[in-house]
Amino acid sequence: MAAQGRLRDDVALVTGGCGGVGRGISQELASEGCRVAVNYLDTPDAASATVRELCALGVEAIAVQGDVRREQDVDRMIAEVAAHFGSLTIMVNNAGVQTWGPLLDVTESDWDLVIDTNLKGCFLGIRAAGRQMRDHGGGVIINIGSGSNKAPFPSLAAYTASKGGIEMLTKVAAVELGPLGIRVNCVAPGAIEIERTRLEMPDYAGTWASVTPLGRVGTPSDVGRAVVMLASADAAFVTGQTVWVDGGLFNQPPWPRQ
């Protein structure tokens, strides 16, 4: 039963937690007994469906609406979760967007949308959760990065900048919040097959599997299991780190292939 899992005493908030990678993270946390608050912006039906899935795993789950770009929304979400469950022990800053286009064609509005959602949203989540955890004995914060942490992606200038920023924000947060009993880490997925990525190219899975050492693309559950590991006591002495969930993709140099 989920109640016997590694996280049975924990409460998590997952931003962007009802679709794609976020949904997989929410499901894996719940499968380990964690009570989960699923954040959404403008997809209440998807949030409700995810909550039902999590409850079917034997845990309590709720949906919380909020825009991670807005300080008052993030503070309110943290307060709602703490009021409902009594505490917040795990914060997963997952919400993210991307816009495609050559660097010289990136508009200011597109840049602001990506940076505000991905990087500012992560900052606001760390700060609000960190304040709550500071006052309640500590906790765990996990930020979702990307292969863009390590490699520049053409036509994704804003996204790459935001994800690289998240990695460094993770490090400074780990240093500052460690004395408060708060661990902060980053999970950086590689090629993960979700509805959005399947729309990026005709054969997303086949294309990326062919260049990934483990010979396949990842799933949202792969990312979720890494989040669970970092959130659990198994990682009690791990902070300030980036865990790559990429099948070895971004660890290999671009050797010429036969």
| pLDDT tens string 111-170 | 999 999 999 999 999 999 999 999 999 999 999 999 888 888 899 999 999 999 999 999
Sheet holding 139-144, edge to edge: 61-65, 35-40, 11-14, 90-93, 139-144, 182-189, 242-245
Q: How far apart are CA 66 and CA 121, in angstroms?
A: 11
204 tagged catalytic = no
Structure pTM? 0.94
If we measure between CA atoms, which residue out of 168, 159, 146, 150 comes closest to residue 20? 146
If we measure between CA atoms, which residue out of 172, 171, 152 comes closest to residue 162? 152
- Strand, helix or coil at 122? helix
pLDDT-derived band at 1, boundaries 50, 70, 90 = very low
207-252 pLDDT, tens digit each? 778 888 899 998 999 999 999 999 999 999 999 999 999 999 988 8
Choose, from 40, 85, 123, 159, the residue flagged as catalytic.
159
Q: Token digits for 37?
A: 């608050």
Where is average pLDDT lowest: 6-20, 34-48, 211-225, 230-244?
Answer: 211-225
Contacts made by residues 52-55, CB under 8 angstroms, sequence distance 24+: 53/27, 54/26, 54/27, 54/30
Give me the pLDDT at residue 208, please: 78
Computed over every residue of the chain, the mean pLDDT equals 93
| Residue 258 reports pLDDT greater than 50 | no
> How many percent of the chain have pLDDT more than 70?
95
> How many percent of the chain have pLDDT more than 90?
80
